[in-house]
Amino acid sequence: MGDRSGNRRAALIAGGVRGIGRALALALAAEGWSVAVCYRQSEREAASLRAELEALGPGHACVRADVSDPGTAAELVRRVEHAHGRLDALINSVGAYHRVPLLEESVEGWHAMFDANLHPVFYLARAAAPGMMRRRWGRIVNFSIVNADQQVGQPFITAHYIAKIGVLVLTRSLARILAPHGITANTVSPGFIDTGGVPEEDLAQSFSAIPAGCLGTPGDAVAAVRYLLSDEARYVNGTNIHVSGGWGI
């Protein structure tokens, strides 16, 4: 996909070597985007994704970077802009979590959930926004979870859940700040998506409660993101799209 000048648009996907992020990277590359993906630990998945992206053509990258560090996040954005002369879309699909009773959570585990799920969204958006503002076009898409907007009690994933609520507030704040510059910031909130990353016991407990009667696929979330990245979505800003088959609403 190119802009009106015919140049290829460039996207940076944080946390994109597995699940929805991986599916999105491949979909955008197939559509003609230049895609850069970062990951923290998943070397085997990164290697296979790198090979798949290379098969789709030149101009893609899959790099190891811990974007919970603000300096690393800023440097990653700079590298992408230097390589492509632009950064049109920032997609934050980081989403690590662990299940532990709240009062048994460690201080380290508590902080880790915010470092994995919320802080990188701010660091990367702060670094990407100036270039998008200069170019008067940009898309930021952040991932939350489907019932974060309800602010319900979550005794086993408390820190993760609070971080995902924070993503909603941060995204809406970015939307208000950046809208005058031709930039949109939106959230996609998946429910139970069959990525292989959700524990089987979680799926078993919730499957019967999904009104659609089936699990979602990464493609369902990819379709929502592709719309938000499009020119057709220029007036959609600050929204939160549930991709859940009606679960969690």
Instruction: Provide the pLDDT for residue 39.
Output: 94
Candidates 97, 161, 227, 235; catalytic one: 161
Owner of token pair 């407990």: 205
Tens-level pLDDT at each residue, the chain (249 residues): 566 555 799 999 998 899 999 999 999 999 999 999 999 988 999 999 999 999 999 999 999 999 999 999 999 999 999 999 999 999 999 888 899 999 999 999 999 999 999 999 999 999 999 999 999 999 999 999 999 999 999 999 999 999 999 999 999 999 999 999 999 999 999 998 888 766 666 666 667 789 998 889 999 999 999 999 999 999 999 999 999 999 988
- Give Cα separations from 183 to 6, 7, 140, 216, 221 (angstroms): 19, 18, 8, 29, 21
Tell me what pLDDT residue 113 has. Answer: 96
**Per DSSP, what are the bridge partners of residue 12?**
36, 90
Strands (E), 116-205: 138-143, 183-190
Determine the pLDDT at residue 1.
Answer: 58
What pLDDT, on a 0 to 100 scale, did the predictor assign at position 26? 97
29, 23 Cβ separation under 8 angstroms: no
Residue pair 108/211 in contact (Cβ under 8 Å)? The answer is: no
Is residue 17 within 8 A of residue 96, CB to CB? The reply is no
Domain ranges of the chain: 10-243
Partner residues linked to 8 by β-bridges: 2
Task: Of 77, 66, 174, give the one whose Cα is nearest residue 115.
Answer: 66
Amino acid at 203: L
Q: Are strands 138-143 and 34-39 parallel, antiparallel or unpaired?
A: unpaired
CA nearest to 138, candidates 111, 167, 177 = 177
Which residues, in sequence order, are CB contacts of 163 under 8 Å at separation 6+? 113, 114, 116, 117, 118
Handedness of CA 190, 195, 92, 81 (dihedral sign): negative
CA distance 231 to 168: 22
Q: Which amino acid is at 190?
A: P
161 is catalytic: yes
Residue 248: what pLDDT?
A: 86
244 three-class SS? coil
Is the CATH number of domain 10-243 3.40.50.720?
yes
